[in-house]
Amino acid sequence: MSYEELIGLQEGKGKLFKKPDAEGSRKFFKNKSREMKSKVTSVKEAVNKYIEDGIYLAVGGFGTNRIPTAIYHEIVRQRKKNLALSGHTATHDGQILMAGGAVDRCDAAYVVGLEARGLSKSARDAFEKYGVEVCEWTNATLTWRYKAAAMGLSFLPSRALLGTDTFKYSGAKVMHCPFTGQKYAALPALPVDVACIHVHKADIYGNCQIEGIDVGDIDIVKASKYVIVTTEELVPHSQMRNETDKVSIPYFLVDAVAEVPYGCYPGNMPYRYFSDEEHLNEWLQQEQEGKIDEFLQKYIYSTSDFSEYLQLCGGIEKLKDLRRKEVLIEDLEELGE
């Protein structure tokens, strides 16, 4: 396609895996329970109950940072299939799901890569060999698609995406502002079936506190029919009541809460523990060497839950090291600061 043709494009030809449906979403939320009741459960039960084959899944955090790893392991362990994944910087999370063969459609903003660490062969094979269906987006346009749904709208305008192949293979359309005539890319709202997020603190009802950047989690939660939360720690409800400015997700948006300490491992949990680069590298290596099936067998299929995985990866001693790394103890000592 020539640049002239690209410039003339009015409509992307990518497939919309979820169509905007502000009215439908309102009707769903009309009937969603507002009851303040305990939602504490296990990851196993939550995945069993809310992750049905074929649903559209959104991922909290950012690739390897504050991701709900335990939920993704459990999805693979329960051999869930044909999920659609929102690839809003889906790096290790996307890698787990694709290695486990759980995904068949993907809105791709950033997938297959783990940033500076390299590329995931499992994820790459999913697209190159196994024909995972893909629609192109970008980090901002996906996050604004969540935001549109979170706002109860069917679209938002954007000044990004225009004039590129990324637009051509997206599901966006060109629109003109009714006030100024300005051209925009109209981004369809992205109503999600299930959002999975990992937070620092939650109470039994599902009120959540996130420390550090929230990435897109708050909009993802509001855009989703069902929300599964894993939390580093469960805290008393009274603590939430005393820290209302720190609560960014109110309980009535949340459906399940599981306490999973170190639940983002081998990713980075701000202020708690840094990423385990050795183990992430092991994932990448095993994929390269064609040993991913044995690797999944060892770490996921043969373990009954996430605690066993943590044990296999070095247990408390490893986690202590990662805590020291997160608070820069070695680094700052060495740098003399």
Tokens of 157: 């305008």
Q: How far is the CB of 217 from another protein (least distance, A)?
A: 8
In the list 169, 237, 313, 323, the residue contacting another protein (rule: CB under 8 A) is 169
Angle between helices 121-128 and 92-99 (to 10 degrees): 60
Distance CA 289, CA 310 (A): 23
- Asked if 117 interacts with another protein (CB under 8 A), we say yes
Q: 169, exposed or middle or buried, with CB in 10 Å at 0-12, 13-18, 19+? A: middle
- Asked if 293 interacts with another protein (CB under 8 A), we say no
H or E element: which one contains 131? none
Q: How many CA atoms lie less than 13 Å away from 255 in the CB half-sphere?
A: 20
Site for another protein in 172-191 (CB under 8 A): 174, 182-185
The residue written with tokens 């690839």 in the block is 87
Q: How far is the CB of 335 from another protein (least distance, A)?
A: 6
Q: How far is the CB of 2 from another protein (least distance, A)?
A: 8
Distance CA 73, CA 113 (A): 19
Query: Is the Cβ of residue 184 or residue 309 nearer to another protein in the bound state?
Result: 184
Strand partners, 201: 209, 233
- Asked if 154 interacts with another protein (CB under 8 A), we say no
Query: Is the Cβ of residue 28 or residue 271 nearer to another protein in the bound state?
Result: 271
Question: x/- site string to another protein, residues 53 to 92, per CB under 8 A?
Answer: --------xxxxxx--------------------x-x-x-
Site for another protein in 206-225 (CB under 8 A): 211-216, 218-219
- Asked if 140 interacts with another protein (CB under 8 A), we say yes
In the list 36, 55, 153, 160, the residue contacting another protein (rule: CB under 8 A) is 160
Site for another protein in 6-25 (CB under 8 A): 6-7
DSSP-derived pairing of the beta strands 192-202 and 208-209: antiparallel
